[in-house]
Structure 1
């Protein structure tokens, strides 16, 4: 019976290396996804602050002025 790996003794090494690299890449993708979530949260918080500041600079809305006694 002929050995399949004759002449290609480093296939197992290559497969092992690629498996390790795939695991590392998978881990990095997970980290990057979490960083995107964090960036989105910061952008949302900043947007909220900017909208509040913009409303404050214009003064109270007409609805607020009318509702005062």
Structure 2
């Protein structure tokens, strides 16, 4: 027969284990999201650079056609 104190300890331990697992999952998700943001930032920079180069190549008389 379990005492109330033993049951409370088990419940507490189970809660700690569950929260630790959830925290680990959240940390993993944060890392994935940071990587995705870094990749998106790289793509944005590449597009921005390509647009700048295209604008320079077109010259001032054709820049309006690029937009």
Please classify the TM superposition score into its range, dividing by the shorter chain length: 0.7 to 0.9
Does 1 or 2 have the higher relative contact order (CA < 8 Å, sep 6+)? 2
2:36 counterpart residue number: 35
Q: Which runs of 5+ in 1 are unaligned?
A: 60-69
What's the C-alpha RMSD, in Å, of the aligned pairs? Answer: 1.9
Q: CA deviation at 1:56?
A: 1.4
Greater Cα radius of gyration, structure 1 or 2? 1
Q: Whole-Å Cα distance in 2 between the matches of residues 44 and 57 of structure 1?
A: 20
Query: Per-residue displacement from partner, 1:17-68 (whole Å, max 9, x unpaired)?
Result: 0000000001001101101110010011001100011111116xxxxxxxxx
Mapping for residues 1-69 of structure 1, pairs under 5 Å: 6=5, 8=8, 9-58=10-59
Q: Which runs of 5+ in 2 are unaligned?
A: 61-67
Greater than 6 Å deviation, 4+ residue runs: none
Q: Which has the higher helix share?
A: 2
Q: Whole-Å Cα distance in 1 between the matches of residues 23 and 16 of structure 2?
A: 10
